[in-house]
């Protein structure tokens, strides 16, 4: 437990120390590049050390039945994540176009607000349908 806390503290300090030194010192372009290089070196160095220290434990083999059931569970979670993620991306794209068009139409004629709101809500529905599909996949 102490090892994990120490590694997390090292990761946080690897970000804070170079930028703290840059903010307290003279703000020149060369100093910023040096701070970024120092930050990258400390951060990725402590990340590699953390990986080596945390993943060097003993590995035990699992039963073959557990592996196949875990594999099918993983695909279910992957399908649910893809359904939710892609539907949210599609909904965001649809809302971006519908909302900008609705604002433009409402700026010309304010009586269109109800119709414009319906189209924006339909675009939001895409994300909700993806969420419902992911709940169905997870059962």
88 closest CA partner among 125, 58, 36, 39: 125
Model confidence, pTM: 0.49
> What confidence tens digit (pLDDT) does each residue in 83-125 have?
999 999 999 999 999 999 998 988 998 888 888 889 889 889 9
Q: Which residues contact 137 (CB under 8 A, 6 or more apart)?
A: 76, 79, 80, 83
CA distance 11 to 44: 9
49-73 tens-digit pLDDT: 878 877 776 666 666 665 566 677 8
User: What torsion do the CA atoms of 104, 105, 110, 114 make, to the nearest 10 degrees?
Assistant: -120
pLDDT range class, residue 3, cuts 50, 70, 90:
confident
From the list 49, 17, 62, the residue with the least C-alpha distance to 36 is 17
């Amino acid at each position: 437990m102490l090892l994990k806390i120490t590694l997390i503290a090292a990761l946080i300090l690897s970000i804070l120390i170079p930028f703290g030194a840059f903010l307290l010192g003279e703000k020149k372009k060369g100093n910023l590049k040096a701070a970024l290089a120092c930050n990258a070196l400390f951060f990725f160095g402590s990340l590699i050390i953390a990986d080596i220290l945390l993943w060097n434990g003993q590995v035990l083999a699992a039963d073959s039945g557990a592996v196949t059931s875990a594999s099918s569970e993983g695909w279910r979670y992957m399908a649910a994540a893809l359904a939710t993620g892609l539907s949210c991306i599609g909904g965001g794209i649809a809302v971006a176009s519908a909302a900008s068009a609705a604002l433009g139409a409402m700026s010309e004629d304010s009586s269109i607000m109800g119709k414009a709101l319906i189209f924006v809500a339909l675009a939001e529905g895409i994300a909700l349908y993806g969420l419902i599909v992911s709940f169905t996949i997870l059962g």
